[in-house]
């Protein structure tokens, strides 16, 4: 409402300002051409100055004076004869009418066509004050906090896995390293760091990553994740027997209903002497490897992520008109390995953003990339 | 809401521009003072509205309001405040807003300072300005609207192109646009005069300050852009004959010609039609530049995004204004009376020569820039016209001008004495040749052409001094009288001398740096030393640092002469995190007007790094000369004669003039 | 000389200057214009060695070899044909394998080796040299990535 009041005031003020000259009593234009005469008179004075200063000679000065004199005379001669007929008050009234009509008409029509009336300003500072459930903003806020207090290990510790899941691997690595630096190393952080480095190297367990996993395994010898990756490192290095033994040991220690068992068995088969040879020494671990590893996660971190995803899900049910939110939700479920939920979410999203629209297409493309059953969702 | 009000202000500005482009013209035709005055109030209103709109956009950038698409695309909350501000025009939409803002700014200035212009001329000229306002406001609103909103609102922006995050780039576009768009005023005056059918010496007097102001800003803008390219791109080059650079050089050349032909018109009422034509051509070239840069026809750092509708729209504007102006010119120009006569050897004659050379050189740049585009459109064949072409054509064509410049101011109006001028200049010419030779042998080596180039540069500087010397009459009169006469010279005489000397200084810089520059590309490991320009440059090693929105690998170099360390510098490679884009930050050390320029290449496997070290003797003279030219422009602008009959106050009473003249 | 003759002389002088300029421009075009080629065009183009050309394409993956000092050799490809290029100097910041590039230089006598003296520098991250982008599009090798987030 305030916006429209301001618009009205602005328009009215401009109109009044423009109407002012039209409202004055009619007057004919100045035909005397005083401005031109002033220029020529000044030129005459300049010649006097030049002459006095010795810059030009007497003869030149006289010639120039004569020339300028002729121009002066021409000005005053045409000036009087140049009286074009002045118009009456009618014309000015029409002009005023045009101003009164054109100003609001053009203004409103075009603005309604191109503008987004009523959309509030969203300065970042105010949004950070009050981030609500927006994960991106929460991250941004945490980043600001860390920019000012770079020694806050807890902050880095919280951000690191979020970065990792968001695919910001460089930031994630830095955050893990900082968290380790300030809070000391533990299995969770070391494993996270290893995973990050690995993800940044197309899934290859590099030397740095291996050291991190070893550190984690030393601290929590029972933890399945570092053990799995260390076995994977052996497999990638071509040490198939050792890898097989490690995978088998891990299988033995795992509970019978552990979700990663099928994957383990796959690797055991792959590294058996009668199995097919490993594709290429620094092989490409399948996406399933990575995902299974996600499944092994236990503890607070996982809970936190799930909590966030659940709250996002709930919010989107209330306000489905949030494209970015849907993208994030579907992606999160896919990454968490909850394909059914991902497909379900995609289905709901596609009711708001049809699959043939721009947003819908992006959703579908993203889902396909995440390996979801898109056909099912589109039915 | 602030953003939406800004958006509405822009729409309202379009409405005002629409009114302002029609009613004042009718008023001028019917000789109605009220409707003509509407042009003045309208120009103020237009400026205030566009300013309001622009400021709201600035606010959105400063507050990092990522609900505005334009802000999200080109800003990042971690950028320093100054770059968040300059990011406003560091993108297509914002730069068009700046264009419009400056256009309306000049209109408002004409409205303010043009109080004693003939009413009809002023009304028509402001109406023409409004036509352009309409065209560009429509362009912005329909194809390049910076006020488009986003929902949902992203948490962080996409950052500004890192190479635009630089102080030089913060001021380069406004300066350049002040020049480009400043020429719109002389264009509008030309169109208004053609509409009016009245064109006389006074017109030139009124147009000249605007042309001069635009020319000065354009000089500054080009120099700034060139210096930016020199230090930011890490290539050590200061002019690339890139089409975008050419696009700014062409209006400068035409504007320089206009500046001189307007002088002839003001003094002798000759070259009237030519001057009007040049006014049209100069601004047309500014528009062409805008088209080339903004349409995406050329890909370069300046074309932020390419969108065919924008190109077609700008091409439409271009055709409408340039085509319309030339049609009007063809129709009305024959009705204008021809002006005064003069002999070939005279001040006028020399200025005609100046115009001839400048426009022909401009033509060669124009052909070189457009030919590849035309050829590709017609035949699909792709060619590149690069530096060798321009160096050969433009370089050669400008040579006679460099020699002729010092003669101009020494020739009298109407009928000059070339022999006399020669006699006065032979001292300057001799001195210049000697200076060139001394300079050359002091630097031992290089092509013989360099001597002539240096001599030409010195000749321009000495010639400018000689002009002042003879005007003051030193040698003929006593020193004290001479001094009195020198200080009594009109400011424009100093402006001329500074302008010409500045050109000479730039020529000196160009010749010196192209001839005496040395370049070393070497692999350096820590502790290694390389000789360049008489200095020993030692590589002390690398370190990693972090800026607000980038990470940086810096190499440290210490520079010593004869075993004594005289300076040190950091040269670095940056990686801007948001865009994952690397840039080079060269390490530049200045010694007088010479510079040592160190830029980093790729790291080697053995821990060393490839380093490129240039010794650039007298390179700063290139831009120093441009600064002197600018100073000349401002000094001329301050000349009281330019204020008479046009800007500033109402004509003073005659008595005041008499008193002034008697001073 | 009469006034008319003087005027004619002035006009003739001006005209001859313009004529000289036109001849100079034509001469310069013949001398210094570089045609643009993709690697696939080279075989067909029948170039005499030493002709200055522009060669554009993508930097072939895995082809960049740093040699002695600051000399770099790499291959420019259009997907089918590869041309070996050597260049001495510092490569632009955005020179990467798999990215578009335009080089300017000459072919060596009797060989397919291209010696570049310029590797174009004014890139930004999205910038594909226009000539290269157009040709790659024709060959269906490259699509312009749509603007906006995925």
Peptide bond into C5 cis (omega under 30): no
For B43, the closest chain A residue by CA position comes to A18
Does the distance separating the beta carbons of B152 and A323 come in below 8 Å? yes
ipTM confidence score: 0.81
> According to the 3-state scheme, what is the secondary structure of A266-313?
HHHHHHCCCCCCCCCCCCCCCHHHHHHHHHHCCCHHHHHHHHHHHHHH
pLDDT for residue C141: 47
pLDDT at A75 over 70: yes
Question: What secondary structure letter does DSSP report for B527?
Answer: T
Does the distance separating the beta carbons of C94 and B599 come in below 8 Å? no
Q: How far is A378 from chain B (nearest CA, A)?
A: 24
% of chain B at pLDDT higher than 90: 33
Query: What is the rounded CA–CA span in Å between residue B58 and residue B60?
Result: 5
- Work out the average pLDDT over B94-103: 94
pLDDT for residue B292: 78
pLDDT at C145 over 50: no
Does the distance separating the beta carbons of B14 and A38 come in below 8 Å? no
- Work out the average pLDDT over B503-527: 88
Mean pLDDT over the full length of chain B: 84
- Work out the average pLDDT over B537-550: 85
Q: What are A40-53's pLDDT values in tens digits?
A: 888 888 888 777 77
Between C18, C27, C121, which is nearest B235 by CB? Answer: C121
For A98, the closest chain B residue by CA position comes to B19
pLDDT at A89 over 50: yes
% of chain B at pLDDT higher than 70: 92
Report CA A90 to chain centroid distance, whole Å. Answer: 56
Q: What are C67-86's pLDDT values in tens digits?
A: 666 678 888 887 778 888 88
CATH class of A300-378: mainly alpha
pLDDT for residue C144: 38
- Work out the average pLDDT over A301-329: 70
pLDDT at B566 over 50: yes
How do the residues of chain B divide into helix, strand and coil, expressed in percent and rounded to 5?
A: 65, 15, 20
Does the distance separating the beta carbons of A71 and B8 come in below 8 Å? no
- Work out the average pLDDT over A45-66: 79
Dump the DSSP string for B458-496. HHHHHHHHHHHHHHHTBTTB-HHHHHHHHHHS-HHHHHH
Mutate to test the interface with C, among A325, A359, A362, A369 (most CBs of C within 10 A): A362
Query: What is the rounded CA–CA span in Å between residue B76 and residue B154?
Result: 11
Query: pLDDT: is C146 or A327 the higher one?
Result: A327
Query: What is the rounded CA–CA span in Å between residue A163 and residue A174?
Result: 10
Query: What is the rounded CA–CA span in Å between residue C53 and residue B383?
Result: 9
Does the distance separating the beta carbons of C91 and B601 come in below 8 Å? yes
Question: SS3 for B317?
Answer: helix
pLDDT for residue A85: 52
pLDDT for residue C134: 60
Q: How far is A3 from chain B (nearest CA, A)?
A: 7
**Signed CA dihedral, B38, B39, B44, B46: sign only:** positive
Q: Does C30 touch chain A (CB under 8 A)?
A: no
Return the half-sphere exposure (C-beta side, CA atoms, 13 A cut-off) of residue A368. Answer: 10
The pTM assigned to this predicted structure is: 0.79
Q: Helix B387-404 to helix B449-472 angle, to the nearest 10 degrees?
A: 30
Range scoring the smallest mean pLDDT among A36-45, B432-441, B556-565 = B432-441
% of chain C at pLDDT higher than 70: 73
Range scoring the smallest mean pLDDT among A235-239, A322-326, B79-83, B459-463 = A322-326
pLDDT for residue A30: 60
Does A300-378 match A135-285 at the fold level? yes
Which residues of chain A does B116 touch, with a Cβ-Cβ cutoff of 8 Å? 34-35, 38
Size of interface A-C (CB pairs under 8 A): 4
Which residues of chain B does C69 touch, with a Cβ-Cβ cutoff of 8 Å? 521-523, 610
Q: What are B610-659's pLDDT values in tens digits?
A: 888 889 989 999 999 999 999 999 999 888 666 654 433 333 343 333 33
**Binding residue positions of C for heme:** 123, 127
Residues 6+ positions from B335 with CB-CB distance below 8 Å: B197
First-to-final CA distance of chain B:
58
Q: How far is C93 from chain B (nearest CA, A)?
A: 6
Does the distance separating the beta carbons of B36 and A87 come in below 8 Å? no
Tell me which chains share at least 3 CB pairs under 8 Å with chain A.
B, C
Residues 6+ positions from C135 with CB-CB distance below 8 Å: C38, C56, C78
Q: What are B309-340's pLDDT values in tens digits?
A: 777 788 888 889 999 999 999 988 887 776 66
- Work out the average pLDDT over B568-575: 88
Name the phi and psi angles at C131, rounded to 5.
Answer: -60, -40
pLDDT for residue A114: 86
pLDDT for residue B4: 92
pLDDT for residue B11: 95
Query: pLDDT: is A285 or B104 the higher one?
Result: B104
Range scoring the smallest mean pLDDT among B37-46, B361-370, B554-563, C54-63 = C54-63
Q: Does A302 touch chain C (CB under 8 A)?
A: no
Contact B533, B596 (CB under 8 A): yes
Which residues of chain B does A45 touch, with a Cβ-Cβ cutoff of 8 Å? 657, 661
Query: pLDDT: is B114 or B646 the higher one?
Result: B114
pLDDT for residue B508: 92
Q: What are B142-153's pLDDT values in tens digits?
A: 988 999 988 778
Query: What is the rounded CA–CA span in Å between residue B346 and residue B351?
Result: 9
Query: What is the rounded CA–CA span in Å between residue B417 and residue B349?
Result: 12
Question: What secondary structure letter does DSSP report for A30?
Answer: -
Query: What is the rounded CA–CA span in Å between residue A348 and residue A345?
Result: 5
State which CATH number among 3.90.550.10, 1.10.287.1080, 1.25.40.10, 1.10.3720.10 fits the domain covering A135-285: 1.25.40.10
% of chain A at pLDDT higher than 90: 6
For A363, the closest chain C residue by CA position comes to C150
Query: What is the rounded CA–CA span in Å between residue B179 and residue B215?
Result: 6
Closest CA to A171 of B160, B585, B551: B551
Name the phi and psi angles at A223, rounded to 5.
Answer: -60, 125
Residues 6+ positions from B348 with CB-CB distance below 8 Å: B264, B268, B270, B271, B342, B413, B414
Which residues of chain C does B343 touch, with a Cβ-Cβ cutoff of 8 Å? 6
Query: What is the rounded CA–CA span in Å between residue B312 and residue B321?
Result: 14
For A360, the closest chain C residue by CA position comes to C150
pLDDT for residue A278: 44
Contact B96, B126 (CB under 8 A): no
Q: Does B578 touch chain A (CB under 8 A)?
A: no
pLDDT at B128 over 90: yes
Mean pLDDT over the full length of chain A: 77
Q: Using CA atoms in the order B334, B336, B337, B340, what is the torsion angle rounded to 10 degrees?
A: -100
pLDDT at A340 over 70: yes
Contact A309, A336 (CB under 8 A): yes
pLDDT for residue C31: 75
Between A34, A55, A325, which is nearest B116 by CB? Answer: A34
pLDDT at A185 over 70: yes
Banded pLDDT at C127 (limits 50, 70, 90): very low
Query: pLDDT: is A309 or A190 the higher one?
Result: A190
Q: What are B368-413's pLDDT values in tens digits?
A: 988 888 887 787 777 778 788 888 889 889 988 998 888 888 887 7
Q: What are A241-294's pLDDT values in tens digits?
A: 888 888 888 888 888 777 777 778 888 887 776 555 444 333 344 455 555 455
Which residues of chain A does C146 touch, with a Cβ-Cβ cutoff of 8 Å? none
Query: What is the rounded CA–CA span in Å between residue B303 and residue B324?
Result: 27
**Exposure of B54 by Cβ count < 10 A (0-12 exposed, 13-18 middle, 19+ buried)?**
buried
Banded pLDDT at B283 (limits 50, 70, 90): very high
Q: Does C150 touch chain A (CB under 8 A)?
A: yes
Report CA A126 to chain centroid distance, whole Å. Answer: 18
Q: How far is B382 from chain C (nearest CA, A)?
A: 5
- Work out the average pLDDT over B82-109: 92
* Range list of β-strands (E), chain A: none
Range scoring the smallest mean pLDDT among A300-304, B7-11, B527-531, B604-608 = A300-304
Tell me which chains share at least 3 CB pairs under 8 Å with chain B.
A, C
Query: pLDDT: is B29 or B251 the higher one?
Result: B251
Architecture per CATH, domain C35-138, reads as Beta Barrel (2.40)
pLDDT at C149 over 70: no
Q: What residue ranges do the domains of chain C occupy? A: 1-32, 35-138
Q: What are B470-490's pLDDT values in tens digits?
A: 888 777 778 888 888 888 788
Q: What residue ranges do the domains of chain A occupy? A: 1-23+89-115, 34-78, 135-285, 300-378
Q: What are B33-60's pLDDT values in tens digits?
A: 888 889 999 999 999 999 999 999 999 9
């Amino acid at each position: 409402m305030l916006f429209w009041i301001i618009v009205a005031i602005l328009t009215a003020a401009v109109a009044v300002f423009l109407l002012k000259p039209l409202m004055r009593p009619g007057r004919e234009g100045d035909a005397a051409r005083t401005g031109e005469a002033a220029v020529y008179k000044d030129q005459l004075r300049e010649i006097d100055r030049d002459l006095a200063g010795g810059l030009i000679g007497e003869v030149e000065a006289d010639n120039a004076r004569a020339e300028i004199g002729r121009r002066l005379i021409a000005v005053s001669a045409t000036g009087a004869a140049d009286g074009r007929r002045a118009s009456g008050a009618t014309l000015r009234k029409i002009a005023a009418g045009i101003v009164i009509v054109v100003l609001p008409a053009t203004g409103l029509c075009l603005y309604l066509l191109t503008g987004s009336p009523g959309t509030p300003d969203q300065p970042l500072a105010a949004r950070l004050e009050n981030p609500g459930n927006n994960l991106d903003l929460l991250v941004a806020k945490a980043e600001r906090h860390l920019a000012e207090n770079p020694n806050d290990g807890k902050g880095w510790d919280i951000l690191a896995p979020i970065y990792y899941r968001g695919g910001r691997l460089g930031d994630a690595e830095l955050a893990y390293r900082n968290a380790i630096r300030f809070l000391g190393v533990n299995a969770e952080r070391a494993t996270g760091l290893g995973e990050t480095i690995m993800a940044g190297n197309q899934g290859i367990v590099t030397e740095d990553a291996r050291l991190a996993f070893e550190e984690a395994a030393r601290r929590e010898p029972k933890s399945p994740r570092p053990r799995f990756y260390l076995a994977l490192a052996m497999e990638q290095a071509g040490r198939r027997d050792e890898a097989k033994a490690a995978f088998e040991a891990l299988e033995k220690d795992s509970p019978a209903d552990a979700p990663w068992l099928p994957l383990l068995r796959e690797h055991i088969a792959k590294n058996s002497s009668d199995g097919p040879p490993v594709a290429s020494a620094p092989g490409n671990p399948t996406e399933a490897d990575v995902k299974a590893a996600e499944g092994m996660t236990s503890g607070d971190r996982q809970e936190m992520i799930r909590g966030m995803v659940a709250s996002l899900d709930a919010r989107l049910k209330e306000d489905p008109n949030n494209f970015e939110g849907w993208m994030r939700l579907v992606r999160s479920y896919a990454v968490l390995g909850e394909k059914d939920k991902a497909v379900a979410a995609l289905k709901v999203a596609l009711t708001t953003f049809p699959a043939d629209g721009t947003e819908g297409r992006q959703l579908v493309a993203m889902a396909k990339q995440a390996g979801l059953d898109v056909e099912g969702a589109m039915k | 809401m602030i953003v939406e009000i800004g958006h509405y202000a822009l729409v309202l500005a379009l409405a005002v521009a629409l009114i302002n482009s029609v009613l004042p013209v009718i008023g001028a035709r019917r000789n109605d003072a009220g409707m003509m005055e509407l042009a003045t109030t309208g120009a103020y209103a237009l400026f205030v509205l566009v300013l309001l709109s622009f400021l709201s956009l600035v606010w959105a950038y400063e507050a990092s309001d990522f609900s505005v698409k334009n802000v999200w695309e080109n800003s990042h909350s971690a950028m320093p405040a100054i770059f968040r501000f300059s990011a406003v025009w560091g993108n297509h939409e914002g730069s068009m807003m700046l264009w419009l803002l400056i256009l309306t700014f000049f209109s408002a200035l004409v409205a303010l300072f043009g109080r004693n212009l003939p009413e009809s001329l002023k009304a028509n000229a402001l109406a023409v300005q409004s036509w352009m306002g309409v065209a560009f406001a429509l362009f912005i609103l329909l194809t390049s609207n910076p006020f488009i909103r986003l929902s949902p609102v992203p948490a962080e922006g996409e950052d500004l192109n890192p190479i635009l995050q630089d102080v030089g780039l913060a001021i380069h576009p406004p300066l350049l646009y002040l020049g480009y768009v400043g020429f719109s005023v002389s264009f509008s005056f030309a169109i208004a005069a053609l509409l009016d059918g009245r064109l006389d010496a006074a017109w030139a007097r009124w147009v000249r300050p605007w042309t001069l102001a635009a020319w000065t800003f354009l000089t500054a803008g080009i120099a700034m852009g060139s210096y930016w390219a020199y230090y930011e791109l890490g290539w050590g080059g200061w002019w690339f004959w890139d089409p975008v650079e050419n696009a700014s050089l062409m209006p400068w050349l035409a504007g320089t010609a206009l500046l001189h032909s307007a002088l002839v018109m003001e003094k002798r009422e000759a070259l009237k039609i030519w001057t009007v034509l040049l006014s049209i051509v100069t601004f047309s070239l500014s528009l062409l530049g805008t088209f080339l840069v903004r349409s995406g026809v050329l890909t370069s750092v300046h074309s932020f995004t390419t969108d065919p509708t924008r190109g077609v729209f700008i091409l439409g504007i271009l055709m409408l204004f340039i085509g319309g102006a030339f049609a009007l010119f063809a129709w009305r120009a024959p009705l204008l009376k021809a002006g005064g006569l003069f002999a070939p050897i005279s001040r006028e004659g020399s200025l005609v020569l100046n115009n001839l050379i400048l426009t022909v050189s401009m033509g060669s740049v124009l052909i070189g820039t457009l030919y590849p585009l035309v050829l590709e459109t017609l035949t699909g064949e792709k060619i590149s016209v690069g530096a060798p072409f321009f160096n050969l054509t433009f370089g050669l064509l400008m040579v006679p001008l460099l020699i002729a410049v010092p003669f101009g101011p020494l020739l009298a109006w109407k009928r000059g004495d070339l022999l006399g001028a020669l006699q006065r200049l032979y001292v300057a010419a001799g001195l210049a040749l000697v200076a060139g030779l001394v300079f050359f042998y002091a630097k031992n080596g290089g092509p013989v052409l360099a001597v002539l180039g240096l001599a030409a540069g010195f000749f321009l500087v000495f010639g400018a001094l000689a002009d002042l010397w003879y005007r003051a009459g030193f040698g003929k009169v006593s020193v004290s009288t001479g001094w009195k006469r020198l200080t009594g010279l009109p400011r424009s005489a100093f402006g001329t001398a500074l302008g010409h000397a500045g050109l000479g200084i730039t020529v000196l810089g160009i010749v010196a740096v192209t001839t005496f520059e040395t370049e070393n590309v070497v692999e350096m490991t820590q502790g290694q030393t390389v000789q360049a320009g008489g200095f020993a440059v030692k590589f002390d090693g690398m370190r990693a640092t972090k800026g607000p929105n980038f990470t940086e690998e810096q190499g440290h170099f210490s520079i010593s002469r004869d075993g004594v360390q005289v300076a040190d510098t950091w040269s670095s490679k940056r990686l801007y995190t948001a865009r994952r884009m690397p840039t080079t930050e060269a390490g530049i050390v200045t010694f007088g007007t010479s510079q040592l320029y160190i830029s980093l290449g790729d790291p080697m496997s053995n821990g060393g790094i490839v380093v490129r070290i240039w010794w650039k003797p007298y390179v700063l003279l290139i831009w120093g000369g441009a600064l002197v030219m600018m100073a000349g422009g401002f000094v001329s602008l301050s000349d009281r004669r330019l204020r008479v009959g046009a800007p500033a106050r109402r004509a003073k009473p005659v008595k005041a003039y008499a008193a002034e003249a008697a001073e | 000389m009469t006034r008319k003759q003087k005027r004619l002389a002035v006009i003739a002088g001006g005209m001859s200057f313009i004529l000289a300029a036109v001849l100079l421009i034509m001469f310069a075009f013949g001398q210094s214009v570089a045609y643009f080629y993709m690697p696939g065009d080279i075989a067909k183009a029948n170039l005499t060695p030493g002709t200055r050309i522009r060669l554009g394409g993508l930097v072939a993956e895995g082809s960049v070899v740093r040699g002695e000092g600051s000399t770099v050799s790499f291959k420019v490809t259009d997907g089918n044909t590869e041309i070996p290029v050597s260049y001495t100097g510092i490569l632009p910041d955005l020179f990467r394998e798999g990215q578009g590039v335009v080089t300017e230089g000459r072919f060596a006598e009797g060989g397919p080796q291209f010696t570049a003296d310029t590797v174009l520098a004014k890139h930004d991250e999205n910038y594909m040299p226009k000539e290269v982008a157009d040709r790659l599009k024709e060959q269906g090798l490259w699509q312009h990535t749509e603007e906006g987030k995925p």
